[in-house]
Chains A and B, each alone.
Chain A
Amino acid sequence: MSNSSNIIWDLQANKVTDFLKEGKRIDGRKLDEFREITVTKNISENADGSARVRLGATDVVAGIKIVPDTPYPDTPDQGTIAVGAELLPIASPEFEVGPPREDAIELARVVDRGIRESGCIDFKNLCIREGEKSWVVFIDFYVLNHDGNLFDASSIAALASLLNAKMPKLEDDKIVRGEYTGNLELSCKPLLCTFAKISNKIILDPMFAEEAASQARFSMASTEDNCLIAFQKGGSGTFNAKEVEEMAETAIKKSKEIRKKL
């Protein structure tokens, strides 16, 4: 079964490449157009913040848990974030049960960098008692359906769940379940935009068939003040300096459109 489905994806990939030769995409989108994005917030009551994001047929849920822990010795006055990605077997025939492998690790780390380096969460605000206790904001997302561009879907889901995250109430260093002291403060909204390169054409938000046809990938996180926060080049193909600059411009512009939906 799985072999025959690979052949179908190979054929789909050929179709993607043929269409792009005429500057078209198989679903009729412009080269720099996102698929339809639907954001549902608060999908889990037990989570301190949560969201489900559909990017076309790609489907990701993210949940936040904010947990008291001991701060790192080199940053005694700060809390931190921890980002985890799960590529569930639910989502795709090629995902397997087990601990995260390199694809999931890369995905989690790229989403982490966008959030961490933007400074949207002030880690000093997560300090409870210097050198003793600080909050860790766990951001975990689960891919439910893989139709390409897990990076952007996960980034949107992570930001959407952070935007409705609440700070748990603490008594004697124990969390009082169901009670909160307020919202998690966010000073900006970092978002990823991911591009794929297919026979020298660059497209935004590749779907699965487009990823199968692509030689290289580039993800860029940016914030609403037009700053670039994190990059990740993936895949075996290459980009030139001009293409990187053009993608940066598109990423800044397009992430503004997504921000309006959050």
Chain B
Amino acid sequence: MTKYEISDYVKKGKRMDGRALDEIRPIKIEAGVLARADGSAYIEWGQNKIIVSVYGPREALPKHIQNPYKALINYTYRMATFSVPDRKNPRPARREIEISKVSGKALESAVFLERFPNTTIDVFVEVLDSNAGTRAAALTAASVALVDAGVPMKDIVASCGVGKAGGEIMVDLDKDEEDAPDAVDIPIAILPRSEEITLMQMDGRLTRDELKKVTKAGIESCKKVWEIQKDALKRRYMESETEMPEETSKVIR
């Protein structure tokens, strides 16, 4: 059994931490935080703390992995050993490998890959502290880091979790809510301008009617996250002497 009874998750429309059902935890994003990387971002999303760096486009090696038509995105999501309650084995777990795969794919439709044949764009994610929703937070920060690297993009991928706990549809579940007996967890990522879904995973139990509601709530939350991403990128150039590159100004408009 979990620490809380089902009814504790939702009381009169409020959640255990006082949030409304459609309220995302506080998010802070900072772009351009690492000197050696081509692009980088740091995100705090509730208790989640994640740092992301981007290298490239650079020559894809070994040569046989090169695609003569487009760039590859190589996304590596890892959690630090101390980022979870029990020490995590530093060896990449199956979960991390799967998240890396789907997250990399989720970014592909946002990037003008065909402009950089035979190259790779490497995205490295390190989770430093976690409390549910790290893949969405990481993907959100990774998009900012890609823009920060000057990679030409069609749109910024924005991501957020959505789901169900204690019988209620809610956004951005924290760990206690994810541990609810009836919890359903659905990370979603979208291209905010077109509302096209680039990442969607789910485990739990949903009716078709509930699916409609969570998809809608997920898209709305992603759009809120998008505003925070754009804001972080604007701040990056307000405080620095460098001019905002044209590619960046296009994507955050």
Partner-B contacts on A (CB < 8 A): 102-103, 105-106, 108-109, 113, 116-119, 218, 226-241, 244-245, 248-249, 252
Binary contact track B64-80/A, C-beta < 8 Å → 1, others 0: 00000000000000000
Chain A: which residue is nearest B195 at the CB level? Answer: A240
- In the bound complex, do residue A244 and residue B211 qualify as a contact, i.e. CB atoms below 8 Å apart? yes
Q: How far is the CA of A236 from the CA of B94 in the complex (A)?
A: 21
Chain A: which residue is nearest B190 at the CB level? Answer: A238
Q: Collect the chain B residues with CB atoms within 8 Å of residue A116's CB.
A: 203
Chain B: which residue is nearest A238 at the CB level? Answer: B196
Which B29-86 residues have a C-beta within 8 angstroms of A?
none
- Which residue in A102, A117, A118, A244 is a CB contact (below 8 Å) of B200? A244
Given A105-B97, A236-B108, A245:B215 Cβ within 8 A:
yes
Q: Collect the chain B residues with CB atoms within 8 Å of residue A232's CB.
A: 102, 200-202
- In the bound complex, do residue B186 and residue A231 qualify as a contact, i.e. CB atoms below 8 Å apart? yes
Binary contact track B180-200/A, C-beta < 8 Å → 1, others 0: 000000100001001111111
Which B118-146 residues have a C-beta within 8 angstroms of A?
none
Given A241-B216, A244-B211, A228:B202 Cβ within 8 A:
yes
- In the bound complex, do residue B205 and residue A105 qualify as a contact, i.e. CB atoms below 8 Å apart? no
With both chains docked as a complex, state the minimum distance between the C-beta of B153 and any C-beta of chain A, in angstroms.
14
- In the bound complex, do residue A244 and residue B205 qualify as a contact, i.e. CB atoms below 8 Å apart? no
Which B91-118 residues have a C-beta within 8 angstroms of A?
94-95, 97-98, 100-102, 105-106, 108-109
Partner-A contacts on B (CB < 8 A): 94-95, 97-98, 100-102, 105-106, 108-109, 186, 191, 194-208, 211-212, 215-216, 219
- In the bound complex, do residue A248 and residue B208 qualify as a contact, i.e. CB atoms below 8 Å apart? yes
Q: Collect the chain A residues with CB atoms within 8 Å of residue B207's CB.
A: 226-228
Q: How far is the CA of A106 from the CA of B99 in the complex (A)?
A: 9
Chain B: which residue is nearest A116 at the CB level? Answer: B203
- Which residue in A105, A109, A226, A240 is a CB contact (below 8 Å) of B197? A240
Given A117-B204, A244-B211, A248-B211, A233:B199 Cβ within 8 A:
yes
Q: Collect the chain B residues with CB atoms within 8 Å of residue A239's CB.
A: 196-197, 200
Q: How far is the CA of A113 from the CA of B108 in the complex (A)?
A: 25
- In the bound complex, do residue B208 and residue A228 qualify as a contact, i.e. CB atoms below 8 Å apart? yes
Q: How far is the CA of A234 from the CA of B102 in the complex (A)?
A: 6
With both chains docked as a complex, state the minimum distance between the C-beta of A73 and any C-beta of chain B, in angstroms.
9
Q: Collect the chain A residues with CB atoms within 8 Å of residue B196's CB.
A: 238-240
- In the bound complex, do residue B206 and residue A227 qualify as a contact, i.e. CB atoms below 8 Å apart? yes
Given A232-B102, A241-B215, A227:B201 Cβ within 8 A:
no
- In the bound complex, do residue A108 and residue B94 qualify as a contact, i.e. CB atoms below 8 Å apart? yes
Given A117-B204, A229-B204, A248-B208, A238:B109 Cβ within 8 A:
yes
Q: How far is the CA of A56 from the CA of B205 in the complex (A)?
A: 30
User: Which of B95, B186, B203, B216 counts the most A-chain CB atoms under 10 A from its CB?
Assistant: B203
Q: Collect the chain B residues with CB atoms within 8 Å of residue A226's CB.
A: 207-208
- In the bound complex, do residue B205 and residue A227 qualify as a contact, i.e. CB atoms below 8 Å apart? yes
Q: How far is the CA of A234 from the CA of B206 in the complex (A)?
A: 20
Q: Collect the chain A residues with CB atoms within 8 Å of residue B201's CB.
A: 230-233
With both chains docked as a complex, state the minimum distance between the C-beta of A61 and any C-beta of chain B, in angstroms.
21
Q: Collect the chain B residues with CB atoms within 8 Å of residue A244's CB.
A: 197, 200, 211, 215
21 residue pairs bridging A and B, Cβ less than 8 Å apart: A102-B97, A102-B100, A105-B97, A105-B98, A106-B97, A106-B102, A109-B95, A117-B203, A218-B200, A227-B205, A228-B206, A229-B204, A231-B186, A232-B200, A232-B202, A238-B109, A238-B198, A239-B197, A240-B196, A244-B211, A245-B212
Q: How far is the CA of A109 from the CA of B94 in the complex (A)?
A: 8
Q: Collect the chain A residues with CB atoms within 8 Å of residue B106's CB.
A: 233
